[in-house]
Amino acid sequence: MGAVGHEMIKTLEQRKFPVGTLVPLDVAAMAGKTVRYNGADVIVQEAKKGAFVGVDVAIFSAGADASLVLAPVAVAEGAIVVDNSSAWRMDPKVPLVIPEVNPQALDAHNGIIANPNCSTIQMLVALKPIHDAFKIKRVVVSTYQAVSGTGGKAITELTEQAKAFASGKPIVANVYPRQILFNALPQIDVFLDNGYTKEEMKMVNETKKILDPAIEVSPTAVRVAVYRGHSEAINVQTEKPFSIPDVRALLAKAPGIKVMDDPSKLVYPTALDAEGKDETFIGRLRADPTIPNGLNMWVVSDNLRKGAALNAVQIAETLIERKLLK
Amino acid sequence: MGAVGHEMIKTLEQRKFPVGTLVPLDVAAMAGKTVRYNGADVIVQEAKKGAFVGVDVAIFSAGADASLVLAPVAVAEGAIVVDNSSAWRMDPKVPLVIPEVNPQALDAHNGIIANPNCSTIQMLVALKPIHDAFKIKRVVVSTYQAVSGTGGKAITELTEQAKAFASGKPIVANVYPRQILFNALPQIDVFLDNGYTKEEMKMVNETKKILDPAIEVSPTAVRVAVYRGHSEAINVQTEKPFSIPDVRALLAKAPGIKVMDDPSKLVYPTALDAEGKDETFIGRLRADPTIPNGLNMWVVSDNLRKGAALNAVQIAETLIERKLLK
């Protein structure tokens, strides 16, 4: 089970999600192993046809290929699928949901619900209250993304590179095309024909689907040597004027957000502050005087929590709230 | 002698700068020590009144406080000062020079010439050819800056944090307000009343002084766990239209620039590629379709070389070329 799978089980426990029976599923090779859930060992079963009979909600974090095959199987067997991969996100019949942003999209679901990309989720949690109040026109965003977004192998690679460095041994790169330790790689996921990476275009397209098709996003996605917690430098232009204290107050009372913004006391969020936390942290709020209604801010969240596991579990919670479970 | 001082001596050697006599100066406590220059040990003398008699060019990298005191002393004793600190940069009587960008500004010097901030230098080397051809209106820039910009103590701190991590010991932060290893800190230098840091406002103000007062810069300066090499995600809007192949060709033939931009082969620059190199490296060139005449790019350079020592030595070389030395 991957990093997000474990985080999902932990999140179900922590939030006391009303689980009748937990059915952990994985590839055949992992079947028979156990995972710890609420103090008991639960046996992992193979994710295959038949495994979803009697399941109400199936939370998937198995990658796009597995999801394309198994999500329809799960739906046919009666489950509602909350899928963490990119497989279904842009399918017009599939709601793409951040519960703080567009919970109403769940009502039109057809069995599969998609969890957005990690870097999109935290950006839109931060942008939603601003958009509602001042109407966002354009966003320029640069990311500082953690290696855990790539998965367990990347976490191991960063640790091995740090240990090799500390002991004076050669640093080996396998997961990433270059050394990630003491470096910043301007590439996340594969390159597309327009010169942007797939990760960057997820931020563009998912923002339009979730928040507003009129919002333009110009992204640069960068991997840094951080384990957990994506940071984003976000430049925003709105249609309506605002004051920074207004924006700060608005964000402070918005769901899922914690404002950490007091430069005089060196208060601002960093990736290490966000590790293991549920909130999207916002700091460095300041006017951008180079355009009308310009704003700069710094947004940090744990990519495995709000960026993946937590958002998926919140979707399941919202299905219950909205009485969408059979 | 600090990291930049050593880099300056190395740069003088490598570029075969026509040094008659090298006079290394430092604080009193360092006087009597030696530095290696062209295979010989040269005795360090105290930087004080009288030390600059007979000196043609005094390259300073001593911090703003020392520079405010000693630069006028050096000028009074007949030297031309090339100062790497922020002390004189915004003084209207002091040229602020990047030789590839505004060498002509040297002609009006009054004894002191300022070396721009590291993050400004590499940005403007990249922007100059674009501005000349297409007239830049606005720039949004997010930086990924190396700890060597802070100095030797920060380099040591990053190493000690990495070693502590590798051996399972507690990680201690002294130089930076938070742990820099496995983190990204959205603060470089002190905060100003407008919510921006001093580093960020250097990028704003120095761009106007060096390249064009009409160019608006909206910056976010971030420290990452990199030893050497600043990276910058730069979003540009120009007045005139361009094509990406045009921009790529323009940059490829511009002085001081090396284009590394072939996404299909995963060719793009990273901080580790720039270490010890003179060029400003540019990659990830792509149109930004969210605005008219929009461009995104990724600019990397060694902050101790082009960002400090090399640019200062190039200023001295340009003084000779322009026959400005007495």
Is B77 a member of any domain? yes
Q: Is B289 in the same domain as B238?
A: yes
pLDDT at position A33 is 95
Is B103 a member of any domain? yes
Q: Is B82 in the same domain as B196?
A: no
- Taking CA atoms, A38 is separated from A16, A35, A282, A310, in Å, by 10, 10, 32, 17
Q: Is B157 in the same domain as B298?
A: yes
Burial A118-139 (b: 16+ CB within 10 A, else e): bbbbbbbbbbbbbbeebebbbb
Instruction: Categorize the per-residue pLDDT at A200 as very low, low, confident or very high, splitting at 50, 70 and 90.
Output: very high
Check which CATH number belongs to the domain holding A260 and give it: 3.30.360.10
Segment A146-166 mean pLDDT: 97
Q: Is B146 in the same domain as B236?
A: yes
pLDDT at position B85 is 93
CB contact under 8 A, A162 and B166: yes
Instruction: Categorize the per-residue pLDDT at B288 as very low, low, confident or very high, splitting at 50, 70 and 90.
Output: very high
Q: Is B162 in the same domain as B289?
A: yes
Task: Report which of A15, A3, A40 is spatially closest to residue A313, judged by C-alpha positions.
Answer: A15
CB contact under 8 A, B144 and A222: yes
- In the DSSP assignment, the letter for residue B171 is P
Q: Is A43 in the same domain as A154?
A: no
Domain count, chain A: 2
List, for residues B13-40, the tens digit of each pLDDT value. Answer: 999 999 999 999 999 999 999 999 999 9
Q: Is B174 in the same domain as B73?
A: no
Instruction: Categorize the per-residue pLDDT at A5 as very low, low, confident or very high, splitting at 50, 70 and 90.
Output: confident
Q: Tell me, yes or no, if A230 is annotated catalytic.
A: yes
Question: Taking 80 as the threshold, does the pLDDT of residue A7 lie above it?
Answer: yes
Interface residue of A139, A140, A143, A291 to substitute, partner B, most B CBs within 10 Å: A140
Q: Is A315 in the same domain as A263?
A: no
List, for residues B84-108, the tens digit of each pLDDT value. Answer: 999 999 999 999 999 999 999 999 9
pLDDT at position A6 is 87
Q: Tell me, yes or no, if A6 is annotated catalytic.
A: no
C-alpha Rg value of chain A to the nearest Å: 20
Is B241 a member of any domain? yes
Segment A271-284 mean pLDDT: 97
Is A27 a member of any domain? yes
CB contact under 8 A, A184 and B142: no
Structure token digits, residue B35: 């530095």
pLDDT at position B45 is 96
Q: Is A76 in the same domain as A151?
A: no
Residues on chain A touching B271 (C-beta within 8 angstroms): 182-184
Instruction: Categorize the per-residue pLDDT at A160 as very low, low, confident or very high, splitting at 50, 70 and 90.
Output: very high
Question: Taking 80 as the threshold, does the pLDDT of residue A1 lie above it?
Answer: no
Question: Taking 80 as the threshold, does the pLDDT of residue A219 lie above it?
Answer: yes
Residues on chain A touching B195 (C-beta within 8 angstroms): 244, 263, 284-287
Question: Taking 80 as the threshold, does the pLDDT of residue A326 lie above it?
Answer: no
Q: pTM to 2 decimals? A: 0.97
Residues on chain B touching A166 (C-beta within 8 angstroms): 162-163, 165-167
pLDDT at position A3 is 80
Segment A165-175 mean pLDDT: 97
Check which CATH number belongs to the domain holding B68 and give it: 3.40.50.720
Is B185 a member of any domain? yes
Secondary structure of residue A130 in the 3-state scheme: helix
Range of the domain at B216: 119-302
Query: How does the average pLDDT of chain B come out, rounded?
Result: 96
Segment B122-146 mean pLDDT: 98
CB contact under 8 A, A287 and B194: yes
* ipTM reported for the complex, 2 dp: 0.96
Give phi and psi for A158, each to the nearest 5: -65, -40
Instruction: Categorize the per-residue pLDDT at A18 as very low, low, confident or very high, splitting at 50, 70 and 90.
Output: very high
Question: Taking 90 as the threshold, does the pLDDT of residue B209 lie above it?
Answer: yes
Is B326 a member of any domain? no
Q: Is B216 in the same domain as B274?
A: yes
Q: Is A76 in the same domain as A208?
A: no
Q: Is B111 in the same domain as B123?
A: no
Is A326 a member of any domain? no
Strands of A187-311, DSSP E = 216-220, 223-224, 230-238, 257-259, 280-288, 294-301
Question: Taking 90 as the threshold, does the pLDDT of residue B4 lie above it?
Answer: no
